Amino acid sequence: MFAHLIQDPKPPQHITNPAPPEAVDAYGQLTKLASTFHDVDGLFYFTYGVCIFFFVLITGVLAYSVVVYRRKTPDQPAASNVTHNTPLEVVWTVIPLIIVMVMFAWGFKGALDMTNAPHGARQYKAVAKQWNWTFSYPNDPVQSYGELWLEVGKPAVFMLESTDVLHAFYMPSMRVKRDVIPGRNQRVWFQPTEIGQYHLFCAEYCGDDHSKMYAKVHVVSAEDYAKRPWDQWDDANPAKGGEARYKALCSSCHSTNGSPMTGPSWKGLFVKDGSGAIVGGQREVFVGGQKQTITVDEAYLIESIKNPEAKKSAGFEKNAMTAFPDLPDREVKGIIEYMKKLAEN
């Protein structure tokens, strides 16, 4: 009944082996577990059962008392004035104590399993910044933004980095959550057991678009994983890749509709001239403290991506921009193609 919560109805075209429909407990509360952490669900349902037992006990006694011992005349005294029953008090102290100690030991054991990644787990990196995720793959220069691909059955350990504030890496279906803390090395691991698509949320409040800080996680077969589906760069359509990079890296400070954010809008970087050809627009920039007007061209844009302090847009000269000196050339080109495409709208 909850299968729709974790299944995307339309998997992307290049995934050849879409997940089979999943059976979920009709009465269950948790989403379908898709990692090896069975203990979480086992303990959850155990404590849930214990809670229901005590809740029924308490409300049962209350309901019975209210019906049977209800005051019928204003002066009616209590049916009993007993204030102690030592055996009863010992029982209701000791039995809950035993139960919670079982829960404690069970939970601690489960948490230890979730702390220690097995040897040979694949090492990924997840970088969190307001408000998106960037993923790096083992021995692979190509990163993915807002989407992640994992191989089913292979333990994955994530190095977590934050470039600004607190975030948290949370995958409900895998039962893992770990805070991403600037300046601290955090890691989290899990072993996906089912092919499918899953949510990755940011679970620690991180500002305006906290709720939009989302990534889709594809767990795919070994065969599909070997095709490196995260490398979606299409040389025939670089603007598409550029737009993806824009959304992942640039959109928190630069709009495309003309409204100023922390940085200048990209609207008007390129404009259409009288004949409909796309040409560079005019910008006022500070170069070494001197204000001058330049015509936007590729050299200026490449410089501004790799070394943003060289020329600062007027009105934004006091705001520091993150530099991207290591962004691969094809991605820089893709972003510029995307900027040109904006002029067509």
Partner 1 sequence: MTTYVPVEETPNETGSERKNYLNWTSGFWSWAATLDHKRIGIMYLVGVTIAFLSGGLFALLVRLHLWKPEGALFENADYNQIFTLHGAFMVFLFVIPAIPGSLGNMVLPLMVGAKDVALPRLNLMSFYLWLTGALLATLAIVLGGFDTGWTFYAPYSIYTDQAVVTIGLAVFILGFSSILTGLNFIVTVHKLRAPGMSWFRMPLFVWALYSTSLLQVLATPVLGITVLLVAFERLYGIGIFDPRLGGDPVLFEHFFWFYSHPAVYIMVLPAFGIISELVSVHSRKPLFGYKLIAFSSLAIAVISFLVWGHHMFTSGQSTYAMFAFSFLTFFVAIPTAIKEFSWVATIWKGSIALNSPMLYTLAFLIIFAIGGLTGVILGALNVDLHLHDTYFVVAHFHYVMMGSIALAFFAGLHHWWPKMFGVMYDETLAKIACGIIFVGFNITFVPQFIMGSQGMPRRYATYVPEFAPYHHWSTVGAMILGSGVALMVGYLVASLFAGKKAMQNQWGGVTLDWQTPTPPPLENFHTPPKVTSEVYDYSTLDLQTLRTPAN
Considering the complex, state which of residue 13 and residue 83 has its C-beta at the smaller distance from partner 1: 83
CB under 8 A: which stretch of 65-73, 223-231, 253-261, 312-320 binds partner 1? 65-73
Contact 315, 226 (CB under 8 A): no
Q: How far is the CB of 20 from partner 1 (least distance, A)?
A: 19
Show contacts with partner 1 in window 211-230 (CB under 8 A): 211-212, 214
Q: How far is the CB of 97 from partner 1 (least distance, A)?
A: 6
Where does this chain touch partner 1 (CB under 8 A) — which range of 170-178, 232-240, 299-307, 336-344?
Answer: 170-178
272 binds partner 1 (CB under 8 A): no
Peptide bond into 230 cis (omega under 30): no
Bridge partners (DSSP) of residue 144 are 135
Q: How many chain residues touch partner 1 (CB under 8 A)?
A: 88
Binders of partner 1 among 7-36, rule CB under 8 A? 29-31
Figure out which of the listed residues 15, 103, 159, 271 binds partner 1, where binding follows CB under 8 A: 103
Does residue 5 belong to the site contacting partner 1 (CB under 8 A)? yes
Report which of 13, 56, 2 is spatially closest to residue 218, judged by C-alpha positions.
13
135-164 positions binding partner 1, by CB under 8 A:
164
Least Å distance, CB 116 to partner 1, is 9
Helix (H) or strand (E) holding 44: helix 38-68
Q: How far is CA 340 from the centre of its chain?
A: 31
Q: How far is the CB of 266 from partner 1 (least distance, A)?
A: 21
Strands 214-220 and 196-202: antiparallel
How many angstroms separate the CA atoms of 50 and 30, rounded? 17
Binding residues among 105-134 for partner 1 as defined by CB under 8 A: 106-108, 110-115
Smallest separation, CB 68 to partner 1 (Å):
9
**Closest to partner 1 by CB, 77 or 276:** 77
Q: Report the residue number, 261 or 287, with the smaller CB distance to partner 1.
A: 261
Applying CB under 8 A, among 22, 179, 194, 337 the residue interacting with partner 1 is 179
Please, which residue, 175 or 218, has the CB nearer to partner 1?
175
Nearer to partner 1, 152 or 202 (CB): 202
Q: What is the DSSP letter of 87?
A: H
- In Å, the largest CA–CA distance within the chain is 98
Smallest distance, partner 1 to C-beta of residue 152, A: 20
**What is the closest distance, in whole angstroms, from the C-beta atom of residue 265 to partner 1 in the complex?**
18
Binders of partner 1 in range 72-91 (CB under 8 A): 74-85, 88-89
Collapsed DSSP state (helix, strand, coil) of residue 5: helix
- Residues numbered 186 to 215 that lie near partner 1 (CB under 8 A) are 186, 199, 201-212, 214
DSSP class per residue in 289-335? TEEEEEE--HHHHHHHHH-TTSSEETT-TTS-----TTS-HHHHHHH
Q: How far apart are CA 324 and CA 303, in angstroms?
A: 10
Does 234 contact partner 1 by CB under 8 A? no
Tell me if 159 sits within 8 A of 124, measured CB to CB.
yes
Residue 202 and residue 228 in contact, taking contact as beta carbons nearer than 8 Å = no
Distance of CA 193 to the CA centre of its chain: 19
d(CA 98, CA 259): 61
Q: How far is the CB of 245 from partner 1 (least distance, A)?
A: 23
Q: What one-character DSSP code corresponds to residue 247?
A: I
